[in-house]
Amino acid sequence: MAAMSNDFLEMHWMVTMIHHIDVGLVVLDKDYRVQVWNGFMKNHSGLTPDQVRNREIFRLFPDIPERWFRQKLDSARLLKNRSFTTWEQRPYVFRFQNYRPITGSSAFMYQNMTVCPLESIKGEIDHIALIIYDVTDEAVNKIEQKLANARLEEISRTDSITQLFNRGHWEERLRHEFARMQRSKQPSTLVMIDIDHFKAVNDQYGHVAGDEVIREVARRLKRTKRNVDIAGRFGGEEFSILLLDTQPDQALYFAERLRKAVAKTPIEFEDHAISVTVSIGISQNHPEINSPLAWVERADAALYESKKNGRNQVTFSPDGMHMDG
């Protein structure tokens, strides 16, 4: 009698513990019907054990991907081994709301899951236990860290005034694209742009106005280029842009559009309307151009010609118009 009493007490403690532990515990039979549903699952789902018992899990939670879930459980049943799913593979199994104040930025609870095959005394796997862990704190912290790293990386390659690529990152992209073009033999164009008489703008209106002129020219450059083009602030009032897979006539069309877009409308700063123009030099890639630096120098020489001949104009480098295939 005493032994039975102890066994009963031990079972009572076990059941109490299962219902109060801070992880979810679900037991499913072979037909995926719920047999055990502890307090954690009740509290977060709003469904009591009586409401879910003997009901198929896919009917209770239609957003569980049935094929993935069956494969996961069938594999554990067949191999008689535990298996695991992390929030990085799938953010959650059961979509529960997140109520934690610290990690309130997440609308749902991130979860890890352990799948445990339960062997009967006959050695058969008739049931599967699922252990659900709330890992929202860990997941949110890791996601925020990744976002912070991505922001830092973005800052490290972006010019603070124009939000174009800074010179270091632009030159890195140029080297990469130059190597690609050496293999593909596709025509591409490098364009150098310089704001005319920029020193006079600084002298007359001040450096803050000068920064706004640089910023606005960059905005017009962004509006004129395509998404695939690689634009950067080369330094001071000079910009550079790589027009990928672009024929000479297309590059000239782009450069003329940009030149007119800058010259047409004065830049507003405080009570001033500042009129500026840009000079532009273009160089097509060519077999004789054997390095990214040589390509920049040719475009820069064309830019110099635009300056020398009166500014506010576009000059194409006299080198070959495009690379022969």
- Annotated catalytic residues are 237
In this structure, are residues 193 and 278 in contact, taking their beta carbons and an 8 Å threshold?
yes
Terminal Cα-to-Cα distance of the chain (whole angstroms): 95
d(CA 74, CA 272): 73
d(CA 15, CA 140): 32
In this structure, are residues 248 and 268 in contact, taking their beta carbons and an 8 Å threshold?
no
DSSP of 138-174: HHHHHHHHHHHHHHHHHHHTB-TTT-SBPHHHHHHHH
In this structure, are residues 133 and 91 in contact, taking their beta carbons and an 8 Å threshold?
no
The distance from CA 115 to its chain's CA centroid, rounded to whole angstroms, is: 32
In this structure, are residues 209 and 269 in contact, taking their beta carbons and an 8 Å threshold?
yes
Which is it for strands 267-269 and 111-119: parallel, antiparallel or unpaired?
unpaired
Instruction: Compute the CA torsion angle 262, 266, 267, 272 (nearest 10 deg).
Output: 160
- Angle at the Cα of 97 from the Cα atoms of 115 and 31, rounded to 5 degrees: 35
Which pair of structure tokens corresponds to residue 133? Answer: 């862990």
- Angle at the Cα of 45 from the Cα atoms of 39 and 142, rounded to 5 degrees: 95
Q: Which residues touch 311 (CB under 8 Å, ≥6 apart)?
A: 196, 197, 277, 279
